[in-house]
Amino acid sequence: MFLEMKNITKKFGPVVALDDVSFSVGEAEIHGLLGENGAGKSTLMNVLAGTFPPTSGEVFLNGQHLTGLNAKKSFALGIGFVHQELNLINDLKIYENLFLGEEITNKWGTLDKPLMRLKAKEVMKKMNLDISPDLQVAYLDTSVKQLVEIARALLFDCKLIIMDEPTTALTNKEIENLFSIMRKLKNDGVSIIYISHKMPELFSICDKYTVLRDGKFIQSGYFKDIDEKIATQLLVGRSLLEAEITKEAVTGETILSVKDITCKGYFENISFDLKEGEILAITGLHGDGRGELSEALFGARRLDCGQVILRGEKLNFRHISNVIKKGIGMVPRSRKERSIIKDMSILNNMATAYFVGKHKKAYISNKDTDRLFEENQKKAAIRVGSRHDLITSLSGGNQQKVIISRWLEINSDIYILDNPTQGIDVGAKFEMYKIINGLAENGKSIIMFSSEFPEIYKVADRCLVMYKGKINAELDRSQLSEVDVMYYATGSNMEGIKNEI
């Protein structure tokens, strides 16, 4: 075995994050590490990368017993860690980021910039990344940033690369590119530990798998011996049996009609109608202007032209509070940055929209907020210890449910959900779908922005596919298939027209 981690236990105070976990990776092997959020994947990898020492247990690399690991030592041993959150410094150039902490100096002890540029260029070429190493990282797309991060591991000839959900921000084409690089690396004898939630990716790129659950080792083996259903079962430890999904046509009246709205540089001439009780999914690929559209529909981004009619009345976007009072609620993407108020309790996080939209009294009474909390905790099945704990003490899924409850309380008619299941585990995702479908059954309308087809298929009545800031196709439930969505999202139909002309 190339890498062996034996009986690793890691405790944070009373919390046992890893309980006697053993994990091994062979040479030139792509090893998928599976587990729900909080299963201990990141903790295990942090032990390996030397971020913190294990409470007990041993690590062997090439038969050599590693002790007193720290980040620098682990990197020197050839272990590269590509983090989920980008660890790049926006104000520095690409090559400066690549060589950060490992700068090459010339004989006078000053930076040897030409050599660093040259080496950076080389490694970027290897990755099919055709941009100048002198670009400032701040101006790069998230997907390119991710590739730069990976390039850093390649630059220093890492023998073992840990990739923690590297494809989150990548489009399918970029993922293909990444996979071909990974295969090339594997042929060169490099081992890769690949952490991901996306089953199709894991099955297509990885050789072996290891499953962790609740900090414990569950199973290890070859991907070719299992299928996605078995893998999901191993992951969640309980079977999520999916019933046949049947949906009847929505018969409600049109509640919202969007007419030719444009926000220059992001999206143009977007028009669609939304009925009562309808779940409308809007999908597309990275950079299609979806995120900006979701903000604009909530009044968080100025429109250049066009209008939105709500129940026959033109919606005034001047203040978000006005939009809220008219009955539109929003669950933004990137929970950490856009929806969680980290210093506030669960209760106060839940009540913020209520204060803005509904609270009329001069002062806040505890009776009021307690009632609010109890009702909505039940509605959204939120599992908490005490309502006065900080929201950050909850798991991602429960945090997201708190955020949805914000709008349940003020009884919004329309819910804009921007990537509502981002970064939450499989079990919580299913509960989220249940909440969304429940809302629609009660006559609420939902606009869900999502890039995951299985998710769209589970809830959507209708789906709009965006391509480069425009609506490229509208698919009914009967027409909904992953192939079609991809076809329109990649703009394949449009290129065809261009060729004919």
Partner 1 sequence: MKFNLFEKHVEEEAPTIQGTGFKDKFFKFYHNYTFVFSFAVLIIIATYFNPSFLSYGNITLLLLQSTIKGIIACGMTLVIIAGMIDLSVGSMVALVGGLGVVVLNTTGSAWIMFFFCVAFGTFLGAINGLLVTKAKIAPFIVTLATMVAFRSIIVQLGQGGPFNVDPKVYDSFRLVAAGYLFRSDNFKGIPYMAIWFVAIVLIMAFIMSKTKFGRYVYAVGSNELAAKLTGINTIYIKTMCFVITGLLVGVAAFLLASRLTSITAPNVGMSYELDAIAAVAIGGTAMAGGSGLIVGTFIGAIMLQMIEGILIAAQIPVFLNGLVKGIIIIVAVVFQSRRERKA
Residue with tokens 């999914």: 281
Tokens (6 digits) for 161: 């690369």
Q: Beta strand pairing status for 30-34 and 191-195?
A: parallel
| Distances from the Cα of 350 to the Cα of 407, 410, 427, angstroms | 9, 11, 22
Please, what is the Cα angle at 463 between 457 and 464, to 5 degrees? Answer: 145
339 binds partner 1 (CB under 8 A): yes
Query: Which residue, 196 or 369, is less far from partner 1 as judged by CB?
Result: 369
Q: Which stretch binds partner 1 (CB under 8 A): 173-181, 214-222, 268-276, 348-356?
A: 348-356
Q: Which stretch binds partner 1 (CB under 8 A): 158-166, 189-197, 206-214, 357-365?
A: 357-365
Q: Which residue type occupies 178?
A: L
Residue in 11, 121, 379, 434 binding partner 1, rule: CB under 8 A: 434
Residue in 127, 131, 315, 344 binding partner 1, rule: CB under 8 A: 344
Q: Which of 395, 347, 349, 355 is nearest to 374 (CA)?
A: 347
Q: How far apart are CA 321 and CA 318, in angstroms?
A: 9
Q: How far apart are CA 451 and CA 429, in angstroms?
A: 14
CB of 193 to partner 1, least distance (A): 28
433 binds partner 1 (CB under 8 A): yes
363 binds partner 1 (CB under 8 A): yes
Q: How far apart are CA 468 and CA 205, in angstroms?
A: 29
Neighbours of 334 (CB within 10 A): 13
CB of 480 to partner 1, least distance (A): 16
242 binds partner 1 (CB under 8 A): yes
Tokens (6 digits) for 229: 């259903």
Phi, psi of 153 (to 5 degrees): -65, -35
Tell me if 450 sits within 8 A of 283, measured CB to CB. Answer: yes
340 binds partner 1 (CB under 8 A): yes
Site string for partner 1, 445-484 (x = CB under 8 A): -------------x--------------------------
253 binds partner 1 (CB under 8 A): no
Tokens (6 digits) for 263: 């926000």
Site string for partner 1, 257-296 (x = CB under 8 A): ----------------------------------------
330 binds partner 1 (CB under 8 A): yes
Footprint on this chain of partner 1 (rule: CB under 8 A): 238-243, 245-248, 298, 300, 319-321, 323-324, 330, 332, 337-344, 348, 351-353, 355-357, 359, 362-364, 381, 383-386, 389-390, 393-394, 406, 430, 433-434, 437, 440-441, 458
